[in-house]
A and B are shown apart, each in its own frame.
Chain A
Amino acid sequence: NAGVMQNPRHLVRRRGQEARLRCSPMKGHSHVYWYRQLPEEGLKFMVYLQKENIIDESGMPKERFSAEFPKEGPSILRIQQVVRGDSAAYFCASSQAVGLSGELFFGEGSRLTVL
């Protein structure tokens, strides 16, 4: 299966702990997007990365959240000192097109629960 792979699918953390979510894009895709879906809400853009570069992080909270897409390995969304409001489904998507006339392919999401 060459689809977008996210892990873990489910993650439980206590307040103050760190959460790391990983995303491997589809083969041949170099553009990665992270979206967050809060309960009863739509998909909210967080960050757009290409290999080793953050292109647009306008949707990322200014504190505690960071993302990277290293030359080797998956993209990682890191949330430090998690709070209950971080509980959400985090979706990674990848695309092949440089412009946005292509489509996004989504992973199945990582569901974070903060106790």
Chain B
Amino acid sequence: DQQVKQNSPSLSVQEGRISILNCDYTNSMFDYFLWYKKYPAEGPTFLISISSIKDKNEDGRFTVFLNKSAKHLSLHIVPSQPGDSAVYFCAASYNTGNQFYFGTGTSLTVIP
């Protein structure tokens, strides 16, 4: 039962343009969402998070948007850089739960 879904396994974007990575979830109890970035042969690293009391959080080139009614969040990277090429995982949790639920990841390729 995949409670967090990333329906696009891959995305290619030209350098300098915007990358938009999408994530959908099914559990309305989720109240905290995170994005992780993963390079090959490395562990995932935390990128940005958002609490359900917000609908937007921004950190430099990275912005996460949360639409609770649609159970949808997205990560915007602008401008995209070749070093952003990696697999991006979204994850969700709820305060009384014991685990973070991860999506299957989207592989982003930024073309120079």
List the A residue with the shortest CB-CB distance to B103.
A42
CA distance A42 to B41 in the complex (A): 14
List the B residue with the shortest CB-CB distance to A9.
B41
Decide: A45 and B99 in contact? CB cutoff 8 A: yes
Q: If the complex has contacts A91-B44, A101-B51, A104-B46, are A42 and B89 also in contact, measured as CB distance less than 8 A? A: yes
The interface on chain B, measured as residues whose beta carbon lies within 8 A of the other chain's beta carbons, has a size of 26
List the A residue with the shortest CB-CB distance to B90.
A42
Which residues on the A side are within 8 Å of B32 (C-beta)? 100-101
Of the candidate stretches A11-19, A64-72, A79-87, A106-114, the one touching chain B is A106-114
The interface on chain A, measured as residues whose beta carbon lies within 8 A of the other chain's beta carbons, has a size of 26
CA distance A5 to B45 in the complex (A): 14
Quote the shortest CB–CB distance from B88 to chain A (angstroms).
11
**Would you call A103 an interface residue if the criterion is a C-beta within 8 Å of the partner chain's C-beta atoms?**
yes
Which residues on the B side are within 8 Å of A115 (C-beta)? none
Decide: A43 and B44 in contact? CB cutoff 8 A: yes
**Would you call B94 an interface residue if the criterion is a C-beta within 8 Å of the partner chain's C-beta atoms?**
yes
Out of B43, B46, B104, name the residue touching A42 (CB < 8 Å): B104
Quote the shortest CB–CB distance from B23 to chain A (angstroms).
11
CA distance A57 to B81 in the complex (A): 39
- Which residues of B from 88 to 102 have beta carbons under 8 Å from A? 89, 91, 93-95, 97-102
Decide: B43 and A100 in contact? CB cutoff 8 A: no
Residues of chain B at the chain A interface (Cβ within 8 Å): 6, 32, 34, 36, 41-46, 49, 51, 89, 91, 93-95, 97-105
18 A-B residue pairs with Cβ-Cβ distance under 8 Å, sorted by A, are A4-B43, A33-B99, A35-B102, A41-B104, A48-B99, A55-B98, A91-B43, A100-B32, A100-B94, A100-B99, A100-B100, A101-B51, A101-B93, A101-B95, A103-B34, A104-B34, A106-B43, A109-B42
